[in-house]
């Protein structure tokens, strides 16, 4: 059976030693008194909940899955899920980073980010039930009316009600402009929605008394395409004016998808039959509110990939230290055993270090992104808010796609460490691989994220935001360029930073002649950008660690950080050279292939 230990030490390193979040909090009035001790204490308790309450339900929940009753349309979650959720809300975890005006605890988003990494490591399927509520909450905070906020937010913040995002229909996935669900205006100002949705995560469950669905639909006079989509609140049970639950609404689960992974989560087919809804935002402007939820979900999915890398790495490392097989190529290492532990073999170490490097690099990126989101929402300086939002917009597709690509790479590598045992269910590794695979698909496939990054976030403003990130790299290069001990970390990112300008310009020029050139290069481009971002954070982590070592700190944590940084830059970062070459190969080898694809 797998095990899990919350990586609290590394979280503390990223927040307090590298990012120095307390310094940023001093500039944000509501967090001016927030200190490291408080953050650490909260996360220590959160780690206990993740490891002791929901992690033991991960394997059993995967084996049992959710049960659907075709007569009542009810869904029963796996044994123990409902009771664990009750512990979650009783302890106040649902309200952790939410607005105190509506009953939230008002802690910084980075704390919630780290808490959710631990939840995702422990049990991704379970975590999706409360996790999706945060996206719905964010959408209503940004676009809901005062009445909608008062009606729904307190119960969602407390965890008594959960939220979903109802976008996808069978005939259209990411292309939401093709959706057919209809919304008919009513005399009382409400709407009646009719249609069918699929792939709705946590769309039905027995854990809460109500589910607040945010549904995209079309008004009768809506213009075609994405510009004719509106957003609606459609609760499972209608809510009376006094806040009590009323009649059952005309929205129900029509079945559950039979899936490869995340089997403990109810991925539902949702049917709407004259379901009563209220509009969020303006008519035909529904994507404004939905993008708030989608972007929150994209950061959340990146965190899912992050969580799975960490737990897979921990188990593969423990196995590699214990499993004996063959002798080291450089001579016997375990003289008292019939063979050496497999961790002595170079390629086993490569697989383990790949997972470790992606886990720790991803943690740095996600914490940094959480701080950007915090500044965008709460910093008193408008310029800081604008700059943070701009940077976060560019990094969001990298968080989602690069982190989940790495999740697939790392969990697969960790399974490989187990050899044949990795393929056997009892070790738990094959579940991590199966669960990791969905993260590359939903909330916009990673190809969609790549097109968003290259087409909108980079070429859309002629590389302005990318150049701003380049200034962060430039500042680090200026600080450490003369430090010989930092050269192996600084030189690669300085070189790639310079190459990115020419690389981006080439793709832009080719794309002006043929848009398919952008589509052909986008996936490779995102991965290059992902390494540029990871490289920056790995260089910063190495900088902190080397300074501690130079100051006489003998904690092996710092030497381990430097060793992992060296591995990352020597073995993973060089992938960028190949990726730039394949991106430059152009679209002809893909598009001029009609005969090959007959």
Largest CA distance in the chain: 84
Phi, psi of 7 (to 5 degrees): -85, 60
Cβ count near 566 (within 10 Å):
16
Q: For residue 406, give Cα distances in angstroms to 348, 400, 527.
A: 17, 10, 10
**What's the token pair of residue 348?**
């086993």
The alpha-helical segments, DSSP class H, found in 418-486 are 429-438, 446-451, 464-480
Whether 111 and 77 have beta carbons less than 8 Å apart is answered as no
Phi, psi of 317 (to 5 degrees): -65, -45
Helix, strand or coil, per DSSP, at residue 354? helix
DSSP-assigned letter for residue 73: -
Query: Which residue, among 500, 538, 571, 496, has the nearest Cα to 368 in the 3D structure?
Result: 538
Whether 366 and 302 have beta carbons less than 8 Å apart is answered as yes
* DSSP class per residue in 266-297: --EEEEEEEEEEEEESSTT-HHHHHHHHHHHH
Sequence-ordered list of residues with C-beta below 8 angstroms from that of 180, at least 6 positions apart, any chain = 169, 171, 195, 218
Active site residue 443: yes
- Estimate the crossing angle of helix 346-378 against helix 286-322, to 10 degrees: 150
The tokens 């100002």 sit on which residue?
Answer: 189
Sequence-ordered list of residues with C-beta below 8 angstroms from that of 36, at least 6 positions apart, any chain = 12, 15, 16, 22
From the candidates 360, 374, 430, 443, which is the catalytic residue?
443
Query: Which residue, among 352, 325, 353, has the nearest Cα to 414 in the 3D structure?
Result: 352
What is the spatial distance between Cα 85 and Cα 93, in angstroms, rounded to a whole number? 10
What is the spatial distance between Cα 98 and Cα 157, in angstroms, rounded to a whole number? 7
Query: Which residue, among 274, 269, 152, 176, has the nearest Cα to 230 in the 3D structure?
Result: 176
What is the spatial distance between Cα 67 and Cα 91, in angstroms, rounded to a whole number? 27
The tokens 């969609």 sit on which residue?
Answer: 448
**Buried-state track 33-44, b at ≥16 Cβ within 10 A, e below 16:** ebeeeebbebbe
Helix, strand or coil, per DSSP, at residue 155? helix
Sequence-ordered list of residues with C-beta below 8 angstroms from that of 534, at least 6 positions apart, any chain = 361, 362, 364, 365, 402, 568, 573
DSSP-assigned letter for residue 483: -
Query: Which residue, among 105, 109, 59, 102, has the nearest Cα to 80 in the 3D structure?
Result: 59
**What's the token pair of residue 493?**
């990112």
What is the spatial distance between Cα 403 and Cα 397, in angstroms, rounded to a whole number? 9
Whether 8 and 47 have beta carbons less than 8 Å apart is answered as yes
Whether 488 and 566 have beta carbons less than 8 Å apart is answered as yes
Catalytic residues: 443
């Amino acid at each position: 059976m797998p095990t899990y230990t919350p990586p609290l030490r590394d979280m503390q390193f990223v927040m307090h030693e590298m990012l120095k979040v307390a310094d940023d909090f001093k500039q944000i009035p509501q967090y001016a008194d927030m200190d490291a001790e408080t953050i650490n204490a909260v996360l220590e308790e959160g780690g206990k909940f993740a490891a002791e309450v929901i992690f033991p339900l991960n394997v059993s929940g995967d084996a049992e899955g959710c049960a659907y009753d075709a007569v009542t349309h009810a869904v029963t979650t796996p044994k123990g899920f409902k009771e664990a959720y009750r512990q979650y809300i009783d302890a106040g975890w649902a309200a952790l980073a939410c607005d105190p005006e509506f009953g939230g605890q008002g802690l910084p988003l980075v704390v919630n980010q780290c808490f959710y990494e631990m939840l995702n490591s422990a049990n991704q399927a379970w975590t999706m039930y409360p996790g999706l509520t945060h996206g719905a909450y964010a959408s209503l905070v940004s676009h809901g009316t005062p009445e909608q906020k008062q009606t729904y937010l307190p119960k969602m913040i407390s965890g008594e009600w959960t939220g979903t995002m109802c976008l996808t229909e069978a005939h259209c996935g990411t292309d939401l402009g093709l959706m057919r669900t209809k919304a008919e205006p009513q005399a009382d100002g409400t709407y009646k929605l009719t249609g069918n949705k699929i792939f709705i995560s946590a769309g039905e469950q027995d854990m809460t008394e109500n589910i607040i669905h945010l549904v995209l639909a079309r008004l009768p006079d809506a213009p075609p395409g994405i510009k004719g989509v509106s957003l609606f609140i459609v609760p499972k049970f209608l809510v009376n004016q006094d806040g009590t639950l009323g009649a059952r609404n005309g929205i129900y689960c029509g079945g559950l998808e039979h899936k490869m992974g995340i089997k403990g989560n109810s991925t539902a087919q949702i049917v709407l039959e004259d379901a009563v809804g209220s509009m969020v935002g303006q008519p035909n402007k529904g994507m404004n509110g939905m993008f708030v939820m989608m972007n929150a979900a994209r950061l959340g999915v990146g965190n899912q990939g992050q969580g799975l890398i960490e737990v897979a790495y921990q188990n593969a490392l423990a196995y590699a230290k214990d499993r004996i097989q063959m002798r080291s190529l450089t001579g016997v290492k375990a003289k008292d055993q019939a063979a050496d532990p497999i961790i002595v073999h170079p390629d086993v170490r490569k697989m383990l270090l790949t997972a470790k490097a992606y886990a720790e690099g991803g943690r740095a990126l996600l914490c940094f992104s959480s701080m950007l989101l915090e500044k965008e929402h709460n910093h008193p300086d408008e310029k800081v808010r604008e700059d943070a939002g701009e940077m976060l917009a560019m990094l969001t597709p990298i968080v989602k796609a690069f982190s989940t690509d790495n999740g697939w790479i790392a969990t697969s590598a960790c399974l490989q460490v187990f050899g044949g045992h990795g393929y056997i269910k009892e070790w738990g590794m094959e579940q991590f691989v199966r669960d990791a695979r969905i993260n590359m698909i939903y909330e916009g496939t990673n190809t969609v994220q790549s097109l968003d990054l290259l087409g909108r976030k980079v070429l859309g403003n002629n590389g302005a935001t990318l150049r701003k990130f380049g200034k962060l790299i430039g500042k680090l290069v200026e600080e450490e360029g003369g430090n010989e001990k930092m050269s192996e970390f600084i030189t690669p990112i300085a070189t790639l930073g310079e190459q990115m300008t020419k690389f981006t310009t080439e793709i832009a020029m080719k794309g002006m002649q043929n848009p398919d050139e952008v589509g052909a290069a986008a996936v490779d481009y995102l991965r290059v950008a992902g390494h540029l971002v990871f490289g920056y954070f790995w260089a910063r982590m190495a900088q902190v660690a080397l300074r501690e070592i130079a100051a006489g700190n003998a904690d092996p944590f710092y030497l381990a950080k430097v060793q992992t940084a060296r591995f990352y830059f020597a073995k993973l970062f060089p992938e960028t050279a190949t990726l730039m070459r394949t991106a430059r190969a152009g679209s002809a080898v893909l598009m001029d292939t009609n005969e090959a694809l007959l």
